[in-house]
Chain A
Amino acid sequence: MEHLIDIQSISKQNIEDIIYLAKSFKEGKQESSVKSKTLALMFCENSTRTRCSFEIAGQKLGMNIINFDDAHSSLSKGESLKDTIENLYFIGVNAVVIRHSLSGIINNVLRLVNYPIKFVNGGDGTHAHPSQALLDYYTMLEKMGTVENKKITIVGDVSHSRVAKSNIALLSKFNADIHLCAPTYLQFENFEAFNVKYHNDIKEAIEGANVVMVLRVQNERHEQEGYPESSEYKRLYEIDTDLLKKYADKNVILMHPGPANRNIEVSSELLDNRVGKTILEQAQNGVYVRMAILNTLLKGGNHAS
């Protein structure tokens, strides 16, 4: 595994190795192989969980961390990402985690950068968020042991969700039964893009579900042309205790990549009760999964000039 750009470009074995390593880190059975390597966190879009999680993961691995944000860097002076990254490499950075609003930005920059810096996608536009999918998978395995033939329903702003896409890519590799639920205006515009089941009706979508993964529904979206108000969404799609109790599997796992809009896509009451705790466990597992990712990419050679 050279980089982590999206789930499609890594193998099932890569995923299993990362999960195994993350478990070893969590259990305190694994030492860092990347002490004193340097990690740059280049977050050109707001983030709490992902940035902090990578930062703590790097610290636990004994890495040097550079925090870098576009507003206070030469990127704001119009320097191209390629130039910035090549300079970071020569300054001594071994790997860079990029969060960016443009889908495919790492594919673009990887084509142009001429030096062996490692790339980790921290979420690009509406394309991919592979570390999130890996930590979601890790959490599901902790709870259920396997995802094979489990009904996993992803609900919310599917069309703009890189989390949904990376989860679909990952869960498909392990033969989960994947369902997507959204109103028409938040659904993927092309149903051939992914081999999953599409629903507009929430009851049908979560019927017997083992996992309900709720996606953030951005309020801004509802102010765009052709979209109704967010109250319309809430009325039909908000996940609450009653809905889960009535339709989902009795051991249903509630997940959310965060940040949640309380009482829009998921009820406040549900978030604060026992079922809602899995969401915090996701955040915790994220650190170990990201340690595993960084350790895997950076162990061995790759010394910066």
Chain B
Amino acid sequence: MLLKNATVINPAENFEGKSDIRIENGIITEFSPNLKSNSNEETIDLEGKIITAGLVDMHCHLREPGFTAKETIKTGISSAIEGGYTAICPMANTNPAVDNVTTLIYTKNQAEQKIGFYPICAVTKGLYGDKLVNVSELIDNGAIAFSDDGKPIENMHLLREAIKYINSHNKVIISHSEDSSLASGGVINEGKISTRLGLKGIPSITESLAIARELEIVKSINGRYHFAHISAKRSIELIRQAKKEGLNVTAETAPHYFSLTEDDMVDYDAKYKVNPPLRTKEDLEAVIEGLKDGTLDAIATDHAPHTVAEKQKPIQNAPMGISGFETALGLTLTNLVHTGKLSLIAALGKLNYNPAKILGIENQGIIKIGAEANLTIIDLNEEWIVNAQNFKSKCRISPFDGFKLKGKVKMTIINGKIYKIGK
């Protein structure tokens, strides 16, 4: 198969230019301009389109096993492919949690190798925060990283030991940074909106306080550590400072933190309810600044599906989470690239190369000869309206429903297999 006439953007090698790509048996065999098509070879003209390395989502929730009314591994994968993702890293907070080899293998079997599937396993058994999982056997069976995401690890002794041990196996812990005494019972960001609406607030120090504490641990043991879903200005300042000091830390944010603020929540609509909560305009600007200067390495979806009925509950009772796969690229291009905040190559790097590099995922996030053909084809200028009713995800409710976005996934190519998007 020959992909012709596209502009290739390969953040892994800082390459941007016209090039053709030949794929044979799922592998990229040639990558240079002006390739001639062989007889009988399928040739796809991608004039005006962009080819980049397949998007890699380092943070999502597929809800299976345990919560299959919200999403299944199958529907989650369809949704990810629709969003341009060729690799995903589901979090472990299922029921049972992915804290054991049996559940880990179950999830991998459900994925049926349709997509690059790299499960993140729990740090502690049952996500209870007290006993470390059997790290090495989980790694041998495919754990790509470890996280109790959904819950913070509160026991600092355990966390310190866990970082040391997991790092010694060349894996990273992904932190859900939250101080639960401050977050307890909170619904939205603590600020003028929470006060006006009479909703219990979640102050931004809920996040930054946990980050400050965890950074001290990482520094003291010279650890390697990753911070998930960064939402607050102060958190970004702390991580920026830590990186300056040479700490081996990385961080991600999610599209809603550079697209929405607490001001969008004035009508008690739980479709905006997410943890960490949407914060202020100042925080949103700090997130964009953090993406620009590299403090925030990656954009992850934090795809956190729930049923429509759950998201229609009174906001206090509704669960937290946003359906994220199918809007992540569109929001990134619309709000970061078309606004001139990030170059296209920098933005794409945060969606493919950086997350693959942080987690050490091979064959993903890079376009090179001999690698699996995991690619995303984009029309940078196509305008489209988000319609949550058409989501492949089971979670067909979204704060972005009705948003007009500029920039759209056209094809997702996984191991040489083409999925046409929006059909």
Contacts and interface: CB of A to CB of B under 8 A. Distances in A.
A108 interface: yes
B199 A104 contact: yes
Interface in A115-168: 124-128, 162, 165
A9 to B, nearest CB: 10
Given A102-B316, A112-B312, A188-B195, A107 B267 contact: yes
Contact of B268 (A80, A82, A107, A188): A107
Contact of A190 (B194, B269, B312, B315): B194
A79 interface: no
Nearest to B184: A225
Contacts of B314: 81, 102, 104-105, 108
B190 to A, nearest CB: 6
Nearest to A110: B267
Nearest to B267: A107
Nearest to B270: A108
B357 interface: no
Contacts of B195: 188-190, 193-194
B26 interface: no
A47 B194 CA distance: 25
Contact of A189 (B190, B197, B269, B315): B190
A103 interface: yes
A111 B269 contact: yes
A192 interface: yes
Contact of B191 (A102, A112, A190): A190
A280 B216 CA distance: 59
Contacts of A128: 198
Contacts of A194: 195-196
A108 B190 CA distance: 20
Contacts of B355: none
Contact of A103 (B191, B270, B313, B316): B316
B280 to A, nearest CB: 10
A104 B196 contact: no
Contact-residue size bin, chain B (C-beta under 8 Å from the other chain): 20 to 34
B198 A104 contact: yes
A286 B176 CA distance: 50
Nearest to A108: B314
Nearest to B191: A190
B407 interface: no
B268 A103 contact: yes
Interface string B268-297: 111000000000000000000000000000
Contacts of B270: 108
Contacts of B196: 165, 193-194
Interface in B156-215: 190-199, 201
Nearest to A124: B198
Given A103-B268, A189-B201, A108 B315 contact: yes
A221 to B, nearest CB: 14
A190 B279 CA distance: 14
B401 to A, nearest CB: 13
Given A104-B314, A105-B314, A108-B268, A192 B198 contact: no
Listed residue (A103, A125, A165, A192) with the most chain B CB atoms within 10 angstroms of its CB: A103
B47 to A, nearest CB: 45
A228 to B, nearest CB: 19
A82 B270 CA distance: 15
A190 B192 CA distance: 5
Contacts of A190: 190-192, 194-195, 201
Contacts of A107: 267-269
B312 A103 contact: no
B201 A127 contact: no
A123 to B, nearest CB: 11
Interface in A70-128: 80-82, 102-105, 107-108, 111-112, 124-128
A100 to B, nearest CB: 9
A127 B198 contact: yes
B267 A103 contact: no
A104 B192 contact: no
A174 to B, nearest CB: 19
B192 A103 contact: no
B190 A103 contact: no
A126 B201 CA distance: 12
A136 B315 CA distance: 29
A165 B198 contact: yes
A91 B85 CA distance: 50
Contacts of B193: 193
Contacts of A103: 197-199, 268, 316
A128 B192 CA distance: 15
A193 B192 contact: yes
Nearest to B193: A193
A126 B198 CA distance: 5
A168 to B, nearest CB: 10
B197 A111 contact: no
Contact of A162 (B198, B269, B316): B198
Interface of B: 190-199, 201, 267-270, 312-317
8 contacts: A104-B197, A108-B268, A108-B312, A108-B313, A108-B315, A125-B198, A165-B198, A193-B192
Given A108-B313, A189-B195, A194-B195, 19 more contacts: A102-B316, A102-B317, A104-B199, A104-B267, A104-B315, A105-B314, A107-B267, A107-B268, A108-B268, A108-B270, A108-B314, A112-B312, A125-B198, A126-B198, A128-B198, A165-B198, A190-B190, A190-B201, A193-B192
User: Which 10 A-B residue pairs are closest in the complex by CB-CB distance?
Assistant: A104-B268, A126-B198, A103-B198, A193-B195, A127-B198, A193-B192, A190-B195, A107-B268, A192-B192, A190-B192
